[in-house]
Structure 1
């Protein structure tokens, strides 16, 4: 009987881990697909919500590329819902279900916020909030994944400092986007701020984050901190390149993918179990 219970528990844990990883992947995916909607000017390809067009949940009439892109992005939401519900079912008897509940709540909030975004014609501040909520959901998904492998411990002050700074960097990135040319539709107004000045502020915050992440990596010498540093360096390189090459769509999309990796690795570095941390003062 004990052996059967052990096998059942192991199977439950295995399914929960698979579901948690799937939740992380789909929440990163929708950031990229949402970015492609904005970058291709397809933000109002479906001009209303929850319908795509008046009287229809799906596009009808001439199927333009903008309609197809916006509708395809909307179809990612049901996929995320299915995955997150499956994750909640898989973790229901575990303490970790709270993270799945947070992600599910985020899915509901994103659906409402997405509808508001369309109805008020892509206001850049609401678009920014829409993106930042996805980053929070990514963080919750990482917390779920880590908690299914290890017991979470109280993070130290430096871990919190880099995590908070990472999300400040991400938020400032959305402000830069709101001041830039990729509005999601040709007629959408921008946030009225200087793209140059907001980009400089964003860059300053990135330098601060790199400093904090470097200090954390020197202190711990761990996989999570190295992964965070790698994500920051690569995404910063993409960010500088896109700025000086006048924001080509491909690079901006890559930068958005990099932003999801920064959110994920920053959360991982925050929650990394102490057993994987090698202190700089410890013998090699």
Structure 2
């Protein structure tokens, strides 16, 4: 038998290579930027839901439904029948924090598993975890101080900080890691920053209004001692400043369509929020309108932060584009 014949016979009888298997679930997670983006968005929604359930606790006078912390009662980590519906409402709010922690934990794991690790996303995911820890501590202090209005305000503002961090996390998943490129000139950047600062000031003053009026979370909870009408007027003045800056921003940014759209959306939310605020004030603060107003504050804050991030872009760099290992080339 010739050598060529032997080679042909050998090749005919050689076993076929095993079929290539598809990627395992772990391999799939390593190339899942879309999942990272959805988890980042879920942190925004989760924080907004925590804010909404928190206001439900306050409006239903359930702030001390779990009268201690970290336990719900001195003898139990969960609510007990003796505290009735108030215990269920307060404990339900605490459980939502656990759900949010699970979402953030999943986001951290998936970000770390990515084949191409983005340091910015890792730090932003970890910042969410740190914020949840801070939120739990402030919440515990709020309960232990008998719903002191200043700690209640701090509790809410930490949630606003978490919403900001969640938005930044989500926004960064949709752009690259290249250097910032500004869409607008330096003066217009400060217009956008001024809008966000005015929105932040409006929200902060709004917490003082809350701490000075009814709906304290418990019938025996202390108040700030400020005149509710006076701080409400101060809050309204901040709203007028915010709306004025937003209208000015729309006019100044008319040559930049993407930024102008973001400012326009913010203005619409501000006007709706203002209508709700005035109606609730002149109708003696019905609980449904108060809840909508607090939820509106969270939505307004997201829209304001969106304006800030609409004025710049970050291009995708080469190290961030590859999601698959390089295919070896023949020598």
| Structure-2-length-normalised TM-score | 0.78
Counterpart CA distance in 2 for 1:90 and 1:266 is 28
Q: Identify the residue that residue 73 of structure 2 maps to in structure 1.
A: 53
Counterpart CA distance in 2 for 1:122 and 1:165 is 27
- Structure number with greater Rg is 2
Q: How does 1:48-197 map to 2 (within 5 A)?
A: 48-62=68-82, 64-92=84-112, 93-94=117-118, 95-151=120-176, 153=181, 156-197=189-230
Kindly state the Cα deviation for residue 112 of structure 1 after the two structures are TM-superposed: 0.5
Deviates more, 1:155-164 or 1:69-78: 155-164
Counterpart CA distance in 2 for 1:8 and 1:52 is 40
* DSSP 3-state at the match of 1:185: coil
2:30 touches 2:110 (CA, 8 Å); kept in 1? no
How much is the aligned-residue C-alpha RMSD, in angstroms?
1.9
Kindly state the Cα deviation for residue 223 of structure 1 after the two structures are TM-superposed: 3.0
Kindly state the Cα deviation for residue 63 of structure 1 after the two structures are TM-superposed: 5.3
Q: Structure 1: which 5+ residue stretches go unaligned? A: 276-284
Q: Identify the residue that residue 278 of structure 1 maps to in structure 2.
A: none
Instruction: Give the count of matched residue pairs.
Output: 270
Counterpart CA distance in 1 for 2:238 and 2:78 is 42
* DSSP 3-state at the match of 1:37: helix
Q: Deviations over 1:173-229 (max 9, x none)?
A: 000000001100000110000100100111101111111122222314433222211
Q: Identify the residue that residue 25 of structure 1 maps to in structure 2.
A: 45
Q: Identify the residue that residue 232 of structure 1 maps to in structure 2.
A: 270
1:19 touches 1:90 (CA, 8 Å); kept in 2? no
Kindly state the Cα deviation for residue 10 of structure 1 after the two structures are TM-superposed: 9.4
